[in-house]
């Protein structure tokens, strides 16, 4: 990385304020552009001079303490912004659309039980085998299109063989995931066509899941139990006291959430991790050596440090339920008005000099608590254990390959859908060796 990326480039705030004075929308457009292209220096300047920036369209929160405060206060900074879109696609609420409700409490706890750390060895074995097969198949060509042939392929295989939700086929699963998550996370302007596509895809997915659930129940009744590490199978076999039991609609929605919480985030994150590692020759050499160590714990910290340097999910959105003062008692205390869209910039928090020493450096000795890759607070990710295993094991198998390299532009460029979701990332491989 260019070290100047981290330097405070005073000037963003002045330019924003000058533009916003002439035309508030022009100011927002400037900020939105910088959030895509200049996020590191923009966040560095905001952390130093305006850690909570309130604009007419959103509030940007950039320091570690304030970001974790926002994500910890579910009663003030709510997830109600996700609700209309996700609920329209799923036909009902899901834990991510409900704060502090009995539904959120019960179903989140249940899904944590269904996704235990004990599954990690099984998930690593499945992912490692699938990755090696894909890489072996690509090797004679001397290149792999890492998004389609590896990252999304692995996510859909995990969905089929670990979650127990194969869909009609991998391509359809992938399409459902992208359509629903585009509307939920990347449709800030509220484009009605994107929303309609998500509702259509979500409807198809829920109809399919209801049919699959009926099949699963019939198999169980016929004395054919599912495999032990089949998350859907576990849900179908779970017997809760009547007053806590999940009806069919709740079961189907929670299986849908497995795909939706996982696929876009995991495949996007893998692209960012691999780019960050391959751009640093020394780190690439060290990571490739660690990837051959039989203990995955030797390799995995490379992944989280690479993702810290360029997180796929840079900001987590919340809606401010009532006026609230952030950074209270500090020189930067700021009132956030009720109704504001609040962007908790985890990408900025993970560069905050107050908690991360030499934030621009690639270091493997980071304290665990500075990693916000799986969120923080009441909505932190229930799939963290298997989800982390998927990302680490996929990248580990890829890094073992000799001759792995970024390809020169334009061919090697990452192609993204709507500037957000990576769809294409060709990488070079040696045609010999494994």
Give the binding site for ligand HEM (CB under 6 A). 95-96, 108, 115, 257-258, 261-262, 265-266, 269, 313, 316, 373-375, 379, 381-383, 386-387, 391
Least distance CB 361 / ligand HEM (angstroms): 22
Residue 258 CB, nearest approach to ligand HEM (Å): 4
| Cβ–Cβ < 8 Å for 426, 412 | yes
Going from the C-alpha of 341 to that of each of 24, 162, 258, 317, 373, the distances in angstroms are: 16, 36, 26, 7, 21
Q: Which is nearer to ligand HEM, 324 or 376 (CB)?
A: 376
Q: Which is nearer to ligand HEM, 101 or 434 (CB)?
A: 101
Nearer to ligand HEM, 82 or 362 (CB): 82
Around Cβ 21, how many Cβ atoms within 10 Å?
Answer: 10
As measured in angstroms, the least distance from the Cβ of 67 to ligand HEM is 11
Torsion of the alpha carbons at 200, 203, 207 and 208, rounded to the nearest 10 = 60
Q: Which residues pair with 59 in a beta bridge?
A: 54, 342
Largest CA distance in the chain: 71
Q: Of the two residues 12 and 421, which places its CB atom closer to ligand HEM in the complex?
A: 421
Nearest distance from C-beta of residue 358 to ligand HEM, angstroms: 23
| Min separation Cβ 322 and ligand HEM, Å | 20
Query: Residue 253 or 429: which CB sits closer to ligand HEM?
Result: 253
Minimum gap (Å) between residue 148 Cβ and ligand HEM: 18
User: Is the CB of 44 or the CB of 256 nearer to ligand HEM?
Assistant: 256
Task: Give the residue with the Cβ less far from ligand HEM, 90 or 138.
Answer: 90
In the complex with ligand HEM, which residue's Cβ is closer, 195 or 373?
373
Closest CA to 380 of 127, 109, 179: 109
**Which two tokens mark 83?**
């609700």
> Distance between CA atoms of 197 and 183, rounded to whole angstroms?
8
In the bound complex, what is the minimum distance in angstroms from residue 18's beta carbon to ligand HEM? Answer: 33
Least CB distance to ligand HEM at residue 236 (A): 17
DSSP β-bridge partners for residue 344: 61, 316
- Cβ 29 to ligand HEM shortest distance, Å: 25
Task: Please state the closest distance from residue 110 (CB atom) to ligand HEM, in A.
Answer: 11
Identity of the residue, 138 or 235, whose beta carbon is nearer to ligand HEM in the bound complex: 235
How does 84-106 read in b/e, with b if 16+ C-beta sit within 10 Å?
ebbbbbbbebbbbbbbeeebbee
Q: What are phi and psi of 271, to 5 degrees?
A: -60, -45
Task: Closer to ligand HEM by CB, 97 or 334: give it.
Answer: 97
Nearer to ligand HEM, 188 or 196 (CB): 188
Beta carbons of 254 and 110 less than 8 angstroms apart: yes
CB of 90 to ligand HEM, least distance (A): 11
């Amino acid at each position: 990385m260019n070290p100047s990326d981290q330097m405070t480039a005073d000037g963003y705030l002045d330019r924003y304020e000058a533009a916003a004075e002439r035309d508030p929308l022009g100011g927002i457009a400037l900020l939105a552009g910088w959030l895509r292209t200049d996020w590191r220096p923009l966040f560095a300047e905001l952390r130093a001079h305006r850690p909570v920036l309130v604009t007419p369209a959103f509030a940007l929160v950039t320091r570690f303490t304030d970001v974790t405060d926002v994500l910890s206060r579910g009663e003030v900074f709510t997830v109600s912004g996700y609700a209309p879109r996700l609920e329209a696609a799923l036909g009902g609420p899901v834990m991510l659309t409900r704060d502090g409700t009995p539904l959120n409490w019960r179903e989140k706890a249940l899904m944590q039980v269904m996704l235990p750390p004990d599954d990690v060895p099984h998930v690593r074995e499945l992912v490692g085998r699938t990755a090696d097969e894909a890489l072996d198949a690509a090797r004679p060509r001397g290149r792999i299109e890492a998004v389609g042939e590896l990252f999304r392929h692995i996510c859909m295989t995990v969905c089929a063989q670990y979650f127990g939700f194969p869909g009609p086929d991998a391509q359809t699963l992938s399409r459902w995931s992208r359509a629903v998550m585009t509307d939920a996370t990347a449709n800030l302007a509220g484009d009605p066509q994107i929303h309609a596509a998500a509702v259509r895809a979500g409807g198809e997915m829920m109809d399919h899941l209801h049919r699959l659930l009926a099949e699963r129940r019939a198999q169980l009744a016929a004395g054919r139990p599912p495999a032990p590490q089949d998350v859907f199978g576990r849900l179908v076999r779970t017997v809760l006291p009547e007053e806590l039991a999940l009806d069919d609609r709740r079961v189907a929605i929670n299986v849908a959430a497995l795909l939706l919480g996982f696929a876009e985030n995991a495949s996007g994150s893998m692209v960012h991790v691999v780019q960050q590692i391959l751009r640093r020759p020394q780190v690439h050499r060290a990571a490739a050596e660690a990837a051959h160590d039989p203990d995955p714990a030797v390799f995995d910290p490379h992944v989280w440090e690479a993702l810290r340097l360029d997180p796929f999910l840079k900001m987590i959105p919340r809606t401010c339920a009532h006026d609230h003062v952030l950074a209270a008692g500090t020189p930067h205390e700021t009132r956030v008005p009720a109704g504001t869209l609040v962007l908790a910039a985890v990408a900025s928090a993970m560069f905050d000099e107050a908690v991360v020493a030499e934030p621009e450096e690639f270091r493997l000795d980071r304290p665990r608590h500075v990693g916000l890759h799986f969120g923080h607070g009441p909505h932190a990710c229930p799939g963290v254990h298997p989800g982390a295993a998927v990302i680490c094991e996929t990248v580990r198998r890829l890094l073992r390959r000799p001759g792995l390299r970024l390809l020169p532009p334009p061919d090697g460029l990452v192609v993204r859908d709507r500037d957000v979701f990576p769809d294409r990332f060709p990488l070079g491989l040696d045609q010999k060796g494994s």
